Chain A
Amino acid sequence: MIPAEFEYYRPASMEDVIALLEEHGDDARVMAGGHSLIPMMKLRMADIPHLIDLQGIDGLANITVENGKVTLGAMVTQHNIIGSDALTSAVPILREAALQIADPQVRYMGTIGGNVANGDPGNDMPGLMQCLNAEFHLIGPDGERTVEARDFYEAAYMTDREDEEVLTGISFDAPSGGYAYEKQKRKIGDYATAAAAVQMTKVDGVVATASIAMTNLSDVPVWSEATADALIGTDCNEGAVKAAIQAMLGDIDPTEDNRGPVAFKRHAAGIVLGRAIARAWSRT
């Protein structure tokens, strides 16, 4: 568990970060909390000759909730999320999800930016960000741009972000209504066997809006419009939930691993989603 040799940088400005990224291209990588990247380097699954630590850059760890708009700096840690009262009241699903990530030690270090930029299908935040319809803010040699979370993920570890770009923050409208983040895992510190993020609103006793995303059930997070559609206009009765689960099963594509065979994962995904819907509905 010893990484290959690398050069360590801790620049003080974003310009310096981008300059380093431009200079070293594919040989450079930024590091946030390091809790996905360093294990990969130690396993020598990632060989990164130039490691650029973002800890030296000011202003990347702010949390703001203003006029129903939530903005998170890329360097906000999962621990910060759990501890923020403003976030907990504006976006309670964020805390519920963050508490199910890894363990306290990892959460002290792991950042929201690293979690969504990583592109690991096991990460919990990407699916949640799709559920919340978040926007990712990137900065690169050509300036700033914004990408929707729902358009960001291309394949495992492949995202829309260019090698020379850095994620600076995330923003989204504070959701209303009921919510639930439901995750099945083998133990503390484990990635999901299956996880579901559900946000929904109720008007006149039926679902008015719904947004649903699934985690670790494909090589990218799965935001399933069809699943949400199956619930809209219903009172989340058994038939509607069944239809939603059917729709979700049409969109996921799990693979077998040590967590179990595909048939089990599909079943677990259905159970997890059913429970998430029930809990979200009960909170509307």
Chain B
Amino acid sequence: MKDEVTREDRVANLKGMGCSRKRVEDARFTQGKGNYVDDVKLPGMLHGDFVRSPYAHARIKSINIDAAMALPGVTAVLTAKDLEPLGLHWMPTLAGDKQMVLADGKVLFQGQEVAFVVAADRYVAADAVELVEVEYEELEVLVDPFKALQSDVSLREDTLDADGKAADGAHGPRKHPNHIFKWEAGDEAATDQVMDSAEVVATEEMYYHRTHPCPLETCGSVASMDKVNGKLTLWGTFQAPHVVRTVASLLSGIEEHNIRVIAPDIGGGFGNKVGVYPGYICSIVASIVTGLPVKWVEDRMENLMSTAFARDYWMKGKISATKDGKITGLHCHVTADHGAFDACADPTKFPAGFMNICTGSYDIPVAYLGVDGVYTNKAPGGVSYRCSFRVTEAVYFIERMIEVLAIKLNMDPAELRSKNFIKKDQFPYQAALGWEYDSGDYQTAWDKALEAVDYKGLRAEQAQRVEDFKAGKTRKLMGIGLTFFTEIVGAGPVKNCDILGMGMFDSCEIRIHPTGSAVARLGTISQGQGHATTFAQILATEVGLPADSITIEEGDTDTAPYGLGTYGSRSTPVAGAATAMAGRKIRAKAQMIAAYLLEVHDDDVEFDVDRFVVKGAPERFKTMKEIAYAAYNQAIPGLEPGLEAVSYYDPPNMTYPFGAYVCVMDIDVDTGVPEIRRFYALDDCGTRINPMVIDGQIHGGLTEALAVALGQEIAYDDQGNVKTGTLMDFFLPTAWEVPNYETDFTVTPSPHHPIGAKGVGESPHVGGVPCFSNAVQDAFRPFGNTHTNMPHDHWRIWQTANDLGLHD
């Protein structure tokens, strides 16, 4: 007997939105069948490698390439002099500044690219690097942005006017030769006024240290210039392949249709692969010069030392409140260390990214933010490491300020948060620093989180622990880290977000094949997010074909529609919306086809899971598979054959995912070793497309948060030498250091997104960093700690304990 196929069966068969469909990418990744840039091997391919500066600041007196050129197998050694005639010795950065491709007269950070060696063999290239003789004259090194703003030494002579004064930059006037920009949001006068008359004001200075996204796969490219047909093909680690194509065209003069950019599998990006690096340019130039394909793949040290760093924000905060804890105002000033070139990857109008989300999840009536960007002798960057533009910095700032205020008020920090949340009925909420939050239900999420961890019980246990510690019964303190965060993701509306003038829409193009399977191509590019899995689920639900019958393709600019790429959790909010909208176009046409086939009026059929049914007569239907076949094989009056759609989506607003995190930590005050006992993460990312993928994203983001909070940093000595250039010193947690995460959720859909989804890949990092940090700080709160800077590695935790007299 044949079982009846129920509606539930049909839904399950689609593997559409809401189900934990297994990741389709994993088969190839777990079997070593991925195809990364370094896997690209072309006939005759040459290999490039950089001569890099050992100094953080030096003038280049001479470069002698004779010995290197004499080494058998060496094809070319490029220096700035060779690139200059092409106008490629400098390149524009995404932040409106420019950056040396190869050192033009001087070097400004350790590890800077000085010359590009091209050889037949990767080993020969490395040997030739050693043979290039560069004579340097060391200059005074500036690693402290505050000192840089006082110094007589101008790091960037190219940014001065004829009188040697700081010429205006891309973001307006500059007050000092080493000053890059001042960016402001909010109302400073009104904020000051509130502060002056406030009942309580808490202030704090905090340094959010420099770190690095450190994707497992480093950056690289393979350029292949075909001199016969004039086409340039460029494979590379690109989080935004179309942007790379456009920039490459503008820089090289090669027409855009003659450039094909391919981002194959990418082994993690986390913001590190948004920008354009000298290696990409050099591989292109070398291929044009030699007529052969040229590969450049950096090693781990090069990745850590020279490609885009993250954070490095010196933040000064002031928060005012009434005596009973109602926040009245917030003031924030940031001194932003951008290194030698301003190579932040931010939308053009936002040189400090979305730092102006720093009022957080709280109803703060007035606020002010001022950010000063500064040049120093460090590597360029300032990218959003697993976060939307500078949102980790913003959330860390406000979540620390809340804790500092709670200490000042002698109030429980959970209660202080509750008291100040933006309320459910205030959405859409207009924040003091300019953003309109789309939706939220913070109190519900917060209460759920506190109850899940038994917050009251934890506080009681902590109080007992303090007693025991004072009585000499234990040397371990207990910290409870709290965080309530709001992200701002999905850049973004073209009206205020662009990169190098290109509006930040995104796209999806769908072709349904006659047999009812499909291919969809998007302007985004997965680097581990699982787009091939989740976007197929969106489409399955929208068009009624099984996700398993839908191929998702990204990353080849010859086939994918134009899009701005993947970073800032923008893929689901923007390209995901485009996917749904394109799916709806398919469905609209399918409806007409179904009505024709069923011989009824268009309005008399309705969509049901995987078919159109005649209203009121569910036994009369046409499945999407049948409709697809008919679309190609039956002449339908008034309709073109085929079933295809394309959608370019310009979102009306950002989306605002949020979450409530709690971390419980035990800290050995003698060794400074923290032990994470519990980590609870509640995320609200709106509509949930694939709960398993969401969990995976949360685990990953939390682990990177743990890294940053507890030890991961790019540290320099006072001569600008990188002290953390290998994974021995740069902390990348393993399974051993990572706790068992408990995940939870609420669902508050985005009202303006076609499927209500908000994006989730970065939330755990944004919320995780302050949560881990707050746990450490909270452990020491009973002994007088208000704030200590991250990273909380063993010795710094020990130092905090020591400063508080806990070793006496």
Minimal beta-carbon separation of B49 from chain A (angstroms): 8
Minimal beta-carbon separation of A124 from chain B (angstroms): 15
Is A103 in contact with chain B by the CB < 8 A criterion?
yes
Is B426 in contact with chain A by the CB < 8 A criterion?
no
- Chain A: CB-nearest residue to B707: A187
Q: Digit string of B701-730 for contact with A (CB within 8 Å is 1, else 0)?
A: 000000000010001000000011010110
Is A260 in contact with chain B by the CB < 8 A criterion?
yes
A258-B799 in contact (CB<8A): no
- Chain B residues numbered 618-673 whose CB sits less than 8 Å from any CB in chain A: 670-673
B127-A5 in contact (CB<8A): yes
A-B contact pairs, 29 of them (CB 8 A): A2-B122, A2-B299, A5-B123, A43-B301, A43-B726, A44-B130, A186-B711, A186-B731, A186-B793, A186-B794, A187-B711, A187-B733, A188-B736, A189-B728, A190-B728, A191-B728, A258-B723, A258-B724, A259-B794, A259-B795, A260-B793, A260-B794, A263-B802, A267-B670, A267-B802, A267-B807, A268-B671, A268-B794, A271-B671
B798-A267 in contact (CB<8A): yes
Contacts of A191 in B (CB 8 A): 728
- Chain B: CB-nearest residue to A258: B729
A271-B733 in contact (CB<8A): no
Give the complex CA separation of A184 and B798 in angstroms: 13
Give the complex CA separation of A187 and B798 in angstroms: 16
If A186-B793, A264-B799 touch, does A1 touch B300 (CB 8 Å cutoff)? yes
- Chain A residues numbered 1-40 whose CB sits less than 8 Å from any CB in chain B: 1-2, 4-5
Give the complex CA separation of A263 and B798 in angstroms: 10
Contacts of B736 in A (CB 8 A): 187-188
The size bracket of the interface on B is 20 to 34
B737-A260 in contact (CB<8A): no
Query: Contact residues of B with A, CB < 8 Å?
Result: 122-123, 126-127, 130, 299-301, 670-673, 711, 715, 723-724, 726, 728-729, 731, 733-734, 736-737, 793-795, 798-799, 802, 807
If A1-B300, A193-B794 touch, does A187 touch B130 (CB 8 Å cutoff)? no
A-B pair count, CB < 8 Å, reads 66
- Chain A residues numbered 188-210 whose CB sits less than 8 Å from any CB in chain B: 188-191, 193
Q: Digit string of A86-119 for contact with B (CB within 8 Å is 1, else 0)?
A: 0000000000000000010000000000000000
Is A83 in contact with chain B by the CB < 8 A criterion?
no
Minimal beta-carbon separation of A13 from chain B (angstroms): 30
Most buried by B among A44, A191, A261, A268: A268
Contacts of B122 in A (CB 8 A): 2
Most buried by B among A1, A4, A44, A187: A187
Give the complex CA separation of A193 and B798 in angstroms: 13
Contacts of A264 in B (CB 8 A): 672, 794-795, 798-799
Give the complex CA separation of A259 and B794 in angstroms: 8
A260-B795 in contact (CB<8A): yes
Minimal beta-carbon separation of A42 from chain B (angstroms): 9
B799-A187 in contact (CB<8A): no
* Nearest 6 A/B pairs, CB to CB: A260-B795, A2-B126, A264-B795, A188-B736, A1-B299, A258-B729
B728-A2 in contact (CB<8A): no
Point out the residue from A44, A184, A188 that lies within 8 Å of B794, measured CB to CB: A184
Known A264-B795, A267-B670; 17 more pairs at CB < 8 Å: A1-B299, A4-B130, A5-B123, A43-B301, A184-B673, A186-B711, A186-B793, A186-B794, A187-B711, A187-B737, A188-B734, A189-B728, A190-B728, A258-B715, A264-B794, A267-B798, A272-B671
Contacts of A258 in B (CB 8 A): 715, 723-724, 729
Give the complex CA separation of A175 and B469 in angstroms: 38
Contacts of B793 in A (CB 8 A): 186, 260
Give the complex CA separation of A187 and B734 in angstroms: 8
Give the complex CA separation of A103 and B711 in angstroms: 19
Contacts of B799 in A (CB 8 A): 264
Contacts of A44 in B (CB 8 A): 130
If A1-B301, A267-B807 touch, does A187 touch B731 (CB 8 Å cutoff)? yes
